A and B are shown apart, each in its own frame.
Chain A
Amino acid sequence: MEPQDTSQDGPTRRFLLECMTWAGTGVLWSVAAGLPQAAMLGSAEAAEAAFSFVQISDSHIGFDKVANPDPLATLHEAVEQIKALAQKPAFVLHTGDITHLSRPAEFDAAQQMIAEIGLPVFYVPGEHDVLDEGRGRAYLDRYGAGSRGAGWHSFEQHGVRYIGLVNVLDLKAGGLGNLGNEQLEWLENTVAGLSSSTPIVVFAHIPLWSVYPEWGWGTEDGARALTYLRRFGSVTVLNGHIHQIMQKVEGNVAFHTARSTAFPQPVPGTAPSPGPVRVAPGELRKLLGTTSVSFVPGRQPLAIVDTPLAG
């Protein structure tokens, strides 16, 4: 990897494209004190990680169209992949769109399948999880214990502070994802007492950064959330929603979006709409997958590894 030119506002396009390519083929991505580093899978750095967690996203249980007629089967493969990890993760984050239409049977099927992992699971809802008449009541009844507002919550594990944000409710015409004042104030208060050396992991469904506003891939007030996190030495933002891996590093903040376990979506601007991409059956599992994040205490790197379900 070429050294990043820190004199610019962000990484160069070539740098970004290199990172995206590597992520897609299983490269370990780590961030130490805001400086991105990459190493091949199975390296010493991966082996010595003290603890790790796994991110899964966009399982869309209930979807039955050509792009993937059986997303419960591909979620099952993701579950098996997590169970087979050499280093047992501490927990699982699900970054939303658990279901396709927020139906009780879809939530039930997803919950039973994900329970097979046998680890604690922390959720944030996607826009597909708040389609019930109560606009998110069904999600909260099932997953909202201990959360605030529409389901935002925070917890600490091994010295890392995790913050789950909800940006899929009260969306405005012509707008993007939305956090809202109440949640932003809660975020500000939640991080106010933390030391700037505390590693922060933020997870939310829609990307907090502007991936492609033309398709609604961004969060209206995401920048305000990031101002509260700017003083921290290591911030990792994990999102879903766009069903593909994208990474960006801005100062000390590393942004990462995960693959879906159900179906891929097009690269921004390469299709008339962000609708599901239909691929040959043998290709599908190369475009679905899970994300593993490792943390090495003392050196503060968060190493992100994306693994496809196949290929």
Chain B
Amino acid sequence: MRSPLSRRTVACLALPLALVPFVARAAAPVAISIDNFAFTPQVLTVPLGTIVTWKNGDDIPHTIVDTGGAFRSPVLDTDDAFSFTFATVGEYGYFCGLHPHMTGRIIVTRG
């Protein structure tokens, strides 16, 4: 005979598994390339929960710094990448901490 506790445990374990296909459909990961001292795409609109990954294709290191302080990458050397999950709706302006003339914007929508 199963105790109520173990039934709850089973339910807790099952819940995240059930959510996985939903989350994956709602917010597929998106990539931003860094080449020739520029972010491409420069302006990106994504649904809530999206994981955005920046990858540096330049011979020179760059960093990703949110003007509002939500995220700040370590230094990205050639072929290094940095990811951030956008869990809050809004507009995020960011730039390269080494070369601040490099700017980009991410708009996070409800999806």
Interface residues of A (CB under 8 A from B): 65-67, 100-102, 127-128, 131, 133, 171-176, 213-216, 272-276
Task: Point out the residues of chain B lying under 8 angstroms from A131, CB to CB.
Answer: 61, 63, 75, 98
Which of B74, B78, B98, B100 contacts A172, CB < 8 Å? B100
- A62 nearest CB neighbor, chain B only: B77
Task: Point out the residues of chain B lying under 8 angstroms from A216, CB to CB.
Answer: 99-101
Task: Point out the residues of chain A lying under 8 angstroms from B94, CB to CB.
Answer: 173
Task: Please measure, in the bound complex, the distance between the C-alpha atom of A28 and the C-alpha atom of B94, giving whole angstroms.
Answer: 44
Query: What are 20 contact pairs spanning A and B, CB under 8 A?
Result: A101-B61, A101-B75, A127-B97, A128-B61, A131-B61, A131-B63, A133-B74, A171-B98, A173-B95, A173-B103, A174-B95, A174-B100, A175-B100, A175-B101, A214-B101, A215-B37, A216-B99, A273-B38, A275-B36, A275-B58
- A132 nearest CB neighbor, chain B only: B75
Q: A272-B36, A275-B37 are in contact. Are A174 and B61 (CB under 8 A)?
A: no
| B93 interface residue (CB < 8 Å to A) | yes
Chain B contacts with A in 64-111, Cβ cutoff 8 A:
65, 67, 74-75, 77-78, 93-95, 97-101, 103
Q: How many chain B residues touch A (Cβ–Cβ < 8 Å)?
A: 23
Q: Are A128 and B98 in touch, CB under 8 angstroms? A: yes
Chain A binding surface SS class:
loop
Task: Point out the residues of chain A lying under 8 angstroms from B77, CB to CB.
Answer: 101
Task: Point out the residues of chain A lying under 8 angstroms from B59, CB to CB.
Answer: 65-67, 275-276
Task: Point out the residues of chain A lying under 8 angstroms from B75, CB to CB.
Answer: 101-102, 131
Q: Are A276 and B60 in touch, CB under 8 angstroms? A: yes
- A174 nearest CB neighbor, chain B only: B103
Task: Please measure, in the bound complex, the distance between the C-alpha atom of A102 and the C-alpha atom of B63, giving whole angstroms.
Answer: 13
Q: Are A273 and B61 in touch, CB under 8 angstroms? A: no
Q: A273-B37, A275-B36 are in contact. Are A173 and B61 (CB under 8 A)?
A: no
Q: Are B101 and A215 in touch, CB under 8 angstroms? A: yes
Task: Point out the residues of chain B lying under 8 angstroms from A214, CB to CB.
Answer: 101
Beyond A213-B101, A275-B59, 19 additional contacts (C-beta under 8 Å) are A65-B78, A101-B61, A101-B77, A127-B99, A128-B61, A131-B63, A131-B75, A171-B97, A173-B65, A173-B95, A174-B100, A174-B101, A175-B100, A214-B101, A216-B99, A216-B100, A272-B36, A275-B60, A276-B59
Task: Please measure, in the bound complex, the distance between the C-alpha atom of A116 and the C-alpha atom of B75, giving whole angstroms.
Answer: 30
- A177 nearest CB neighbor, chain B only: B100
Q: Which of B58, B67, B100 has the most CB of A within 10 A?
A: B100
Output the least CB separation between A275 and chain B (Å).
5
Q: Which of B65, B75, B101, B103 has the most CB of A within 10 A?
A: B101
Q: Are A173 and B100 in touch, CB under 8 angstroms? A: yes
- B59 nearest CB neighbor, chain A only: A65
